[in-house]
Amino acid sequence: MDPHLLRFLLLLFVINLGFQLVRRFREGFSADLPYNVLLAADAGLCVYALSTPGRTASLWAWLAIGIFVGAVLIPAVLLLFSQVAMGRARWELAARLLAIAHVFAPSVEVRRRLEHVARLRKAHAGNVEEIERELSAEIARNSDPEGRRLLQETLLELLAFSGQWERCLALYDRMAQEGMTRVSRPTLAVAMIRASLESRDAARVWGFYAELRKFDASDPAVSSALLSAEIMLLAAYGYADELERALYPAHRPHPVFPVSSKRYWLGLAHLQEGGTARAEAHLSFEPALARENPILDRLARELVRRGPAPMEEPEARLREELDRMARQVPDRFRQVRGPRPPVATGLFLAAMLGVFFWQTWKGDAENLWTLYQLGANFRTLSLDGEPWRLVTSMFLHAGVLHLLLNGLMLYMFGRILEVHFGFLRTLAVFVFSGTCGSVASALVYRQGLSVGASGAVFGMVGAVLMMFVIAKDLWHPVWRKKQIHNLVFLLLLNLILGFSMSMIDNAAHIGGFFGGAFLGWFFLVFGARSTWRRAVVRGIGFAAIVAVAWSWTLTVRHLGSARLQTASWRQGGHELSLRVPVFWHQTVESLQNPMCRLMPTFSVTHAELPADAGPPTAVVEEFLGQYQGQGKRDGLKLERQEPAGPAGVEVEFSFTFQRTPGRELLFIRVEGGMLWALRFVWDPGCADSVRPFAGAVSRSFTARRTPR
């Protein structure tokens, strides 16, 4: 493995372990003593391998990496998969994954998750007594008003989930007496609407619905909550025909409303309207459906036994509101697809992967000429005539590990952002923050090149952080605070790594973070609550799409070519001037292509000829013989020789320099009493960025004698 990459991994691991150990000391080091000692030993191994050069240190480094993968990385992956399984109510699979994770990481945190899964399995079956007892005991012990309120809200949702409507409303009344002024989350508002409907308390129903309408309806999570509440209201007031149209077909699941929920609310609507037979047909759950949602099956059977319980007739204003819901819900139900797939994130990742395959197809993914052709951020060019590189460079990556790290981070934060921002706004954050990172990199470092989606990654972090800071009401405060701490930790970790290793572009990280944070703040504050605001937001998203398409169009158009610029310097009493590719850097009396590693790419040799020098062809042959004789000790071998005009030749050699094969091309010509030899040198890795341009450069060469 590349020593720089190994050092980077060790530094990344030791910082991660350091933060973990600090947190564990704060929470109680003795609680997980064996596991904590293992993490501390691994951190020590990483430090030792970093500070000790040589082969022995490499063995210790691999041991440290192996321990980290087993004790930290594998458990983290298993915990991630267990969360996915829990989201799909696959409790047994989640428990198995957590049990395996506990083998690798025998910690209190994993044991708590195992216990949490066990409680959720019981709650799914309707056995919520244990969770209720634990929450009640925790509420009694908690002296912090904010923490106590959060626990009480969790208990409220649990009571509504299990169908204990009266107790749910009684607890809410006690919380209101203790000073709770408003509903803090959309999901809590839906739970309270449900409890109030089942208790036939119309005043409370409409009060909680008004609280729900205060949230930003442009957020997909709030939109889904509103749809759920409006379907409940239509069912409770007997809008059976409208719900039949909206929820059709009842046997097909929906991302927000599964089959059991569809049938329950259709059954309630028909029951309230007086259609008992149709109501019973919907409310009689088959065994498979009853196993899927045992709580709703129990409530459906109770509803059939109880019969219709009409709500009091609403006033005219509320009846108009119900009619509006009845008109709009069918279309909205078809539009709402629950948690939307992260299309923008997926497209961006697919584009990164596709471009990486393109890089490897054209040559080595880290080859500078390949990166130049495909739009890398050559900093001297991006701000001077080739601005499309500021966009295309975010899709390029210098190696598989670079791609994997950026791809993983984008997937993590892009999904979170896209749930709330939607396709266009998320795409705009990607492109805008990545471009800001490229601009910051070009302004700060000036020379060299940069590639990668790091700016877009940090833009995601900035936008998600703004979302947690500004849109406070969408999440549980404890969870929200924990996520903010995690994001700050991630930012600090990457900044420390960036300042520790020269190959990491911290300017792109910081520029991308501020770009993403600004655009996230703008979208959240500006919002999309009116037609013209939605038009502005969509316009920004479409502008991002146009910027990407325009940039790649220009990249493809310039593929294999390079813009030429004039280079000049004084040498031996002459002013030399020629046109060279823009990425060749000028030194004192030569030009260096950064893609070549052997020696200066271009240099000039000249000699003033005596009056009796003879014909130009003889002068050129004499110079060439002397040049070959001097180059024999370096392995210079003549490959070909061709005329290059009436007074010159073009000669190509092969040679080996420091065990690296190379090529040399000489353009030798005689004019104005001078012999000029234009020398081009390259190695195999940079041939495409030198050989095709040599003819144009030599033809543009001019020399003018300067007065002494």
Quote the percentage of the chain above a pLDDT of 90.
8
**Least confident segment among 1-15, 132-146, 657-671:** 1-15
Please state the rounded mean pLDDT for residues 197-202: 84
CB of 264 within 8 A of CB of 299? yes
Whole-Å CA distances, 315 to 206, 268, 312: 11, 22, 9
The mean pLDDT value for 649-659 works out to 86
- Cα separation, 290 vs 259, in Å, equals 11
Give the model's pLDDT for residue 546: 92
Average the pLDDT over 525-538 and give the result.
76
Residue 54 has pLDDT above 80, yes or no: no
CA 142/CA 479 separation, integer angstroms: 17
DSSP 345-361: HHHHHHHHHHHHHHHHH
In the predicted model, what is the mean pLDDT of residues 448-469? 87
Three-state SS across 363-432?
CCCCCHHHHHHCCCEEHHHHCCCCCCHHHHHHHCCCCHHHHHHHHHHHHHHHHHHHHHHHHHHHHHHHHH
CA distance 231 to 233: 5
Alpha-carbon span 207 to 202, nearest angstrom: 8
Classify residue 457 as exposed, middle or buried by CB count within 10 Å of its CB (0-12, 13-18, 19+): buried
Nearest CA-CA partner of 311 in 226, 212, 198:
198
Q: Checking DSSP bridges between strand 674-682 and strand 702-705, what pairing results, if any?
A: unpaired
Token pair 């999570």 in the structure block, residue: 221
pLDDT category at 181 given cuts 50, 70, 90 is low
What letter does residue 502 receive in the DSSP assignment? T
Question: Averaged over 159-188, what is the pLDDT?
Answer: 79
Q: How many residues does the chain have?
A: 708
639-659 mean pLDDT: 83
What number is the average pLDDT over the span 324-351?
78
428 and 420 Cβ atoms separated by less than 8 Å: no
Q: Is pLDDT of 105 > 70?
A: yes
Rg (CA), the chain: 35
Q: Could you give the residue numbers annotated as active site?
A: 454, 509
* Contact partners, residue 481, CB within 8 Å, separation at least 6: none
DSSP 663-675: EEEEEEEEETTEE
Three-class SS state of 256: coil
pLDDT at residue number 125 = 65
**What does the longest C-alpha to C-alpha distance in the chain come to?**
123
Strands 564-571 and 449-450: unpaired
With CA atoms as reference, report the closest residue to 403 among 345, 445, 368, 357: 357
Structure tokens belonging to residue 236: 């409770």
User: In this predicted structure, what is the pLDDT of residue 433?
Assistant: 93
Cβ contact 173:199 at 8 Å: no
Could you give the CA distance from residue 5 to residue 158 in angstroms, rounded to a whole number? 49
Matching residue, tokens 């969509």 = 538
Distances (CA, A) of 678 to 6, 417, 691, 693: 42, 56, 13, 13
Distances (CA, A) of 24 to 33, 70, 73, 111: 10, 19, 17, 15
Structure tokens at 549: 């398409």
Q: Average pLDDT of 343-352?
A: 90
Indicate the pLDDT class of residue 538, thresholds 50, 70 and 90: confident
Using alpha carbons only, give the angle 579, 363, 411 rounded to the nearest 5 degrees: 110
The residues, ordered by sequence, that sit 6+ positions from 118 with a Cβ below 8 Å of its Cβ are 95
Average pLDDT, the chain: 81
C-alpha–C-alpha distance, residues 387 and 379, integer Å:
10
Taking alpha carbons only, the member of 346, 186, 332 closest to residue 254 is 332
- Is 483 exposed, middle or buried (CB count within 10 Å of its CB: 0-12, 13-18, 19+)? middle
Distance from C-alpha of 488 to C-alpha of 510, rounded to nearest angstrom: 13
Within 10 angstroms of residue 353's Cβ, the number of other Cβ atoms is 14
* Full 3-state SS string of 549-600: HHHHHHHHHCCCCCCEEEEEEEECCEEEEEEEECCCEECCCEEECCCCCCCC
Residue 580 in contact with residue 692, Cβ under 8 Å?
no
Could you report the per-residue pLDDT of 251-291, keeping only the tens digit for each?
777 666 778 888 888 888 888 888 888 888 888 888 877 77
Contact assessment for residue 428 and residue 434, using Cβ atoms and an 8 Å cutoff: no
Cα angle: 95, vertex 97, 103; to 5 degrees: 105
Number of separate helices (H) and strands (E) present in the chain? 29, 12
Amino acid at 1: M
The confidence band for 502, taking pLDDT boundaries of 50, 70 and 90, is: low
Count CB-CB contacts under 10 A for residue 534. Answer: 14
**What type of residue sits at position 130?**
E
Proportion of the chain in helix, strand, coil states, percent, rounded to 5:
65, 10, 20
The separation between CA 161 and the C-alpha centre of its own chain, rounded to angstroms, equals 34
**Distance separating alpha carbons of residues 378 and 438, to the nearest angstrom:** 10
Residue 679: phi, psi to the nearest 5? -110, 120
**Of the candidates 503, 509, 540, which has an alpha carbon nearest to the alpha carbon of residue 439?**
509
The predicted structure's pLDDT at residue 550: 93
Peptide bond into 249 cis (omega under 30): yes
Pair 526, 537: CB distance under 8 Å: yes
* pLDDT confidence of residue 578: 92
Find the mean pLDDT for residues 189-200: 85
6, β-bridge pairs: none
- Domains of the chain with bracketed CATH: 3-120 (no CATH), 144-335 (no CATH), 343-557 (1.20.1540.10), 564-705 (3.40.1000.10)
Angle, helices 220-236/259-273, rounded to nearest 10 degrees: 30
